[in-house]
Amino acid sequence: MIHWPIAALELATPRLRMRLPSARELDELANLATAGIHDPETPSVRILMANHAPVQTARRVMEHHWSSWMFWKPKDWRLTLAVFLDGTAIGTQVLAAEGFTTHRQVKTLSWLGKDFQDPGLAVEMRAAVLHLAFAGLGAREAVAFVEKTGSPIVSRKLGYRDDGVEHFPFRGENMAAQRLRLSRADWEAHRRTEVGMERLEPCLPMFGLPAAEGPGITAPDHR
């Protein structure tokens, strides 16, 4: 019996593989973050990483992964995937939800190592978790956040629309961020990236979903 099936879940795009990292790979991600990160959109990442000594930054990256495993609940979860390019860890992509079976809404955040500052990679890794959310888990919508001084280029390419302003506390001050929302219809209209999902079905109960279609549940599309 596999007690933590999400450990075997993998997503694949033409260039990337995404899955939970091993202990060694988590160390690699922590080292990558200490060298600097690139995130054109997500204010939550700046809060996580900003202005810490290298040892503290590395520790925060590792704690972020550990906490996503430790506090996982079927109704409130945060899937924190390592992103690999040609076998090298290049960053992290998160898909999270609160009350998913009720609201069917997800949110994302991500970061890339400074040597992998390719907007195309950012689009590809986000497209992968959006495919998981909509095609695999039956999500209705996704939200993302962009600092007011940032550019929503990744979200725009994937079909997100403006949806107001969100506020985050940051070092005792207020950080205003643009909120963007992606409907299932807009996701369908902007799908461009081929995404493969491996070993998803055993994970469905961990996302608060039955392994098979049941009352009130839309059967996930496992294409």
Work out how many domains the chain is built from and give that number: 1
pLDDT of residue 213: 46
Residue 70 included in any domain: yes
Residue 139 included in any domain: yes
Of 26, 222, 66, 38, the residue nearest 131 (C-alpha): 222
Higher pLDDT, 40 or 119: 119
90 and 123 in contact (C-beta within 8 Å)? no
The whole domain housing 120 covers 9-196
pLDDT digits (tens, 9 = 90+) for 50-107: 556 778 888 988 999 999 999 999 999 999 999 999 999 999 999 999 999 999 999 9
The partner residues of 73 in beta bridges, in order of sequence, read: 76
Residue 81 included in any domain: yes
Burial class (CB in 10 A: 0-12, 13-18, 19+), 27: middle
Residue 39: which pLDDT band, with cuts at 50, 70 and 90? low
Residue 188 included in any domain: yes
Of 160, 165, 161, the residue nearest 178 (C-alpha): 165
pLDDT of residue 220: 46
Residue 17 included in any domain: yes
Residue 26 included in any domain: yes
First and final CA of the chain: distance in angstroms?
Answer: 26
Residue 124 included in any domain: yes
Residue 44 included in any domain: yes
CATH number of the domain where residue 69 is located: 3.40.630.30
pLDDT of residue 187: 98
